[in-house]
Structure 1
Amino acid sequence: MESLLRVTDAVKSFRQTKLSAIRGPQEFFDVQRVSRPADFNDATRRISYNTRYFSGNYGIIIAALAVYALLSNTLLLLAIVFLVGGFAAINKWAPEPMQVGDHVITQKSLYTGLFVIGIPLLFFASPIMTIFWLIGASAVLIVIHASFVEPGPESEYAEVQDSV
């Protein structure tokens, strides 16, 4: 019961902190504010402000790219489902040792079998390449958006508030 309370508190905290930072699509895709930065300092200033201002939206972009990466790499999805499902099935249906013929099958031997099959399957699914693709794709999209969107007038007040 205590762990359920911790999970609900974590969900409430996540909703209050991250989901409240999501800006509407009309503000995020405002083409009136798109302009080329004058120089590198202007681009850096824009990136610094916009990554904080649109952090919730950028989180959604990263999550969408992660879902796309999993759906496009079916072997990785299969490996993750196999490992997670195997853990859940072993914990649910095999907490005690079972007698099968002359052999006693323990939870440890089931986990060993799961690892012997799941780890090579995960290795061939190339999760590291997927992680690097996710990092690169999200970084490129975020940096391009953050550098080309001109901060609104409230950005001037944010600089004053940060210095106080």
Structure 2
Amino acid sequence: MEAILRVTDTLKSFRETRLSALRPPTEFFDVQRISRPADLNTATSRISYNTRYFSGNYLLIIIMLAVYAVISSPLLLIALLFLVGGFSAINRFAPDPVQFGDTTITQKHLYTALFVIGLPLLWLASPVMTFFWLVGASGVLILGHASLIEPGVESEYATVEGQV
């Protein structure tokens, strides 16, 4: 019960901090503000401003890409479910040693068996490739969007406020 409360509190704080920065879709997909940057300095300043301004939207894109990557790779999904489910099942149902005849099975034995089976299964699912795909896909999407969208008028006032 305590773990459920911790997860709920974590989700609430995540929603309050990160998802409160979400910009509306009409602003995020505003085609009137799309233009090619004149030079590298312009692109860099746009990326710097837009990554802060649209940080909630970009985080949502990364989360959606991660969910897609896990769902579209069945072996990775099975390996993650096996490891997470096994870990929680051991913690919940086997906190004390169990006696089978002359053999005593402890949590340490169960964790060892879980990792001996689960880690090779996870290795076969190629999580490293999935991670690098996630980094590449989100990087291209985020940097492309951030460099093509012109900052709004409020970006000019943000620099003035910083100088006062």
Query: Normalising to structure 1: TM-score of the pair?
Result: 0.92
CA distance 1:17–1:162, shift in 2 (3 Å): farther
Partner of 2:149: 149
**Deviation at residue 48 of structure 1 after TM alignment:** 0.6
The CA RMSD over aligned residues, in Å, is: 1.7
Matching residue of 1:46: 46
**What displacement does 1:8 show?**
4.9
SS in 1 for 2:114: helix
Deviates more, 1:77-86 or 1:12-21: 12-21
Alignment partner of 1:37: what SS?
A: coil
What is the match of residue 132 of structure 2?
A: 132
Aligned pairs for 1:1-16 within 5 A: 7-16=7-16
Structure 2 CA distance for aligned equivalents of residues 161 and 74 of structure 1? 50
Secondary structure of residue in 2 paired with 1:158: helix
Q: Which residue of 1 aligns with 2:67?
A: 67
- Percentage of identical aligned residues: 70
1:58 alignment counterpart: 58
Structure 1's 162 and 4: CA in aligned 2 closer, same or farther, altered over 3 A?
Answer: farther
2:98 paired residue number: 98
In structure 1, runs of 5+ residues without a counterpart are none
Give the C-alpha shift of residue 6 in structure 1.
5.6
- Aligned match of 1:31: 31
Indicate the SS of the match to 1:141: helix
How much does 1:56 deviate? Answer: 0.2
Question: How has the CA–CA distance of structure 1 residues 8 and 61 changed in structure 2, closer, same or farther, with 3 Å as cutoff?
Answer: same
SS in 2 for 1:99: strand
Q: Across the two proteins, how many residue pairs are aligned to each other?
A: 164
Counterparts of 2:72 and 2:92, CA distance in 1: 30
C-alpha change, 1:122 and 1:2, in structure 2 (3 Å) is closer
Calculate the TM-score normalised by the size of structure 2: 0.92
